[in-house]
Chains A and B, each alone.
Chain A
Amino acid sequence: MHSRMATEGLRENETLASLKSEAESLKGKLEEERAKLHDVELHQVAERVEALGQFVMKTRRTLKGHGNKVLCMDWCKDKRRIVSSSQDGKVIVWDSFTTNKEHAVTMPCTWVMACAYAPSGCAIACGGLDNKCSVYPLTFEKNENMAAKKKSVAMHTNYLSACSFTNSDMQILTASGDGTCALWDVESGQLLQSFHGHGADVLCLDLAPSETGNTFVSGGCDKKAMVWDMRSGQCIQSFETHDSDINSVRYYPSGDAFASGSDDATCRLYDLRADREVAIYSKESIIFGASSVDFSLSGRLLFAGYNDYTINVWDVLKGSRVSILFGHENRVSTLRVSPDGTAFCSGSWDHTLRIWA
């Protein structure tokens, strides 16, 4: 009996070892296949593109009102309103053009790391250490009590790191520290699809702008960026070239690529058709992690907020840094370009948000 179990144990170990080596050799072969079609670098192709001229962007608005670190923000489709969330649980809706606060609600948890504006402009979603994503309709009623109308939609088993509405107010996509992403029906709170595959916390996500609107990309603490099919829940593509946690992912406006920002102090561009990393945006003097990235409307510029309090502006095609923006007095934690590309907003651990144009 003992010897039989011993031989079975031996067989299992052999199988594990042989599976491991098979997986590793296949990974190597996959990299070879990917490399075969890589016949030119982006900056080489971009040589004939005109260089950018003098670049001037300034803070045009400073939004003060959060009593603690700003963690996340999102724009309303009306191009001027924004929602922001902070460490002390406060979620504020601003008309950032006038800097007026229009709504405020205090969540029952701290570290509200995710917030999103609904496409209609009539609701917001947020969540964080409560492991949930909740939707608040925005009302201007006299005895407004936003907290009373709160709807709990998503339930994860660890913190909520990111959330986004799809094309309507009726669905929300979430990312969590429990290593999964999930798609939810807002009205019923029903889980429509879950996405498993990350080996650690998922920190960010972005929906594809493609006309057929079926995919999204997520980034996590496993250093992987994964592209998912929303309908089937399957991972379509996976990229693993960063050296550390991926804090932010954002699609290039054409939908053919996406950028990522990581704790390894680099931003990278991944092309979906070539199925590989095609550019790295880094500088020896930049040693702090990139927390948040977004493209300008044409995709020529990549704005990245860093943990060293600065914002670096990158020429996406040529790979060079165009400008560095100072102003925040603590980490830049969130950054989004406005829907019509006229400005971008940055939020920071210094309790403020800034609009740059």
Chain B
Amino acid sequence: MTIGGPRGRHPRLQMPCLRKMERMIVSMQDPDMGIKMRNQRLLITVIPHAMTGNDIVEWLIQKYGISEEEALHLGNLIVKHGYIYPLRDPRSLVLRADESPYRFQTPYFWTSTKWPATELDYAIYLAKKNIRKQGDLIEHEKDNYNLLHKRINHTWDFVVMQAREQLRAAKQRRKGDRIVIDCQEQAFWLVNRPPPGAPNVLEQGPERRNCHTTRVQLNMDYYKREIEYCRKAMARTRVKSSICLEGYIKFNEQYVPHDPIMSGCLPSNPWITDDTTYWVMNAPTVTTPTKLRVERWGFNFSELIMDPLGRAQLLEFLKKEFSAENLSFWEACEELRYGEQSRIAEIVDSIYQQFLAPGATRWVNIDSKTMERTLEGIKTPHRYVMDDAQMHIYMLMKKDSYPRFLKSDLYKNLLAEAIIPPETKKRVFPFMRKQRHSSPSPALLLPAGDAEERGRSPSTAPVPEEES
């Protein structure tokens, strides 16, 4: 037994939206809560069980509590997928929010129906049209007709026979029924054989679940793995929801003022005003950072160390405390973790020489156990060999140096001198668009050889030089 199903599944089964659309359609036709259907007049013919475009939009607005724009959009999608068709102008699957008449498609023709629309069916449909219109088909239908005529030439007699038979049967129906059946068919084929230029709503994208190697075998190994996973998962510590969710509230409070989409940004959002001052003032390395930026360094250690400017200030502070080698060590470890596979041994050795060897110029103070483990580990150097030592130093900076940094004069001065940019005054002629200047690409800033060098050091944001 396998999960995954047989190859070549009917692609429409991959569209869960069709099921939901059908449920919508069914509730739209509910005798009590659905749309009130009436007779609609089409020139001189009366079509029963029909509704207007307005009816559809109104019903959607009421049922789902949405705006008219959204209701019209949703209604249009329902029509595009062929579940509702227009009686007037049936060649265009569009919903108009007016008195235009519409009808529900018969379930026989529903898009999710499992029988595929075959070439034969399409040929019969085109043949009928061809006969009725005496050869005057619209261009793409003419092309398709000729194509099919060539391709299934051997059954063409059958096609024409079927077409004639269906036309004959249709003549015996009332005019109203004939119009309805024609519209139903037309809508079905518009969905299944869209004219060139029209969007194909049935288009899916590359097939999923067609790889036999991922088909999971529900055998003993599978269940043994499931059991193993569950046992591990049971043993893990979980935190109460109330505590976790409190975390979001706090995070939200802290960060919303820094969220340009939520709170705007000063002097202005470059995308809205075409003024790039905001980017210039917040470039990775500026002389004077903005107040918001310096405040953010106080949120947590990660904010400080991940901002190139913040990191530089941290370095200055650590120098004063004679523990700058900690930051340098951490950076070197990052270089190891994210560096090329081929340079691992080289980087590990460099780290050892600079930071760990007895008498090293920038010896880092790690606890003896970690040091012992690390020294043992570097005998067979690998990417993660410094993880323990790096974590130890990171925590040292975070728990020890960082709180002192925040209380230091250095940081206090940074806060005091930080800029609060004034809001861009509204332009007198707002309709005159400001010229949009280009900026040098990060790929340009260094000659090709150095670009590789740059790519090597982790977490270095490119430094665009902005024109003002």
Contact = CB atoms under 8 A, between A and B. Distances in A.
Interface string B3-22: 11000000000101100110
Interface of B: 3-4, 14, 16-17, 20-21, 24, 60, 63-64, 66-67, 69-70, 73-74, 77, 199, 205-206, 208-211, 213-214, 216, 218-220, 223-224, 226-227, 229-231, 233-234, 236, 238-249, 251-252, 255-256, 258-262, 265, 269-272, 276, 278-279, 282, 301-302, 305-306, 334, 337-342, 383-384, 387, 391, 394, 436-439, 441-444, 448, 451, 454-462, 464
12 contacts: A98-B437, A120-B455, A122-B462, A167-B334, A177-B208, A177-B214, A253-B255, A278-B241, A288-B17, A297-B261, A301-B261, A317-B248
A97 B341 contact: no
Interface string A234-274: 01011000011100000011101100000111000001011
Contact of B17 (A57, A167, A171, A265): A265
A324 B260 contact: no
A332 to B, nearest CB: 13
Interface in A306-323: 307-310, 316-317
A207 to B, nearest CB: 12
Nearest to B219: A16
Interface of A: 12, 15-16, 19-20, 22-23, 26-27, 29-30, 33-34, 37-42, 45-46, 48-49, 52, 57, 60-61, 76-81, 95, 97-98, 100, 102, 111, 113, 118-123, 129, 137-141, 157-159, 166-171, 177-179, 185-188, 190, 192, 198-201, 203, 211-212, 221-222, 231, 235, 237-238, 243-245, 252-254, 256-257, 263-265, 271, 273-276, 278, 283-285, 287-289, 296-301, 307-310, 316-317, 324, 326, 329-330, 337, 340-344, 355, 357
A157 B227 CA distance: 28
- Shortest Cβ-Cβ A-B pairs, 4 listed: A121-B442, A179-B214, A169-B455, A298-B259
Contact of A157 (B208, B211, B248, B258): B211
Given A30-B230, A211-B301, A243-B16, A317 B441 contact: no
Contact of A201 (B199, B209, B438): B209
A113 B214 contact: no
Contacts of B384: 231
Nearest to A288: B17
Given A76-B442, A166-B338, A256-B247, A265 B20 contact: yes
A198 B279 CA distance: 41
B214 A254 contact: no
B297 to A, nearest CB: 14
A306 B454 CA distance: 37
B443 A253 contact: no
A317 B214 contact: no
A132 to B, nearest CB: 15
Given A16-B219, A340-B260, A140 B441 contact: yes
Given A199-B3, A299-B252, A40 B234 contact: no
B249 A46 contact: yes
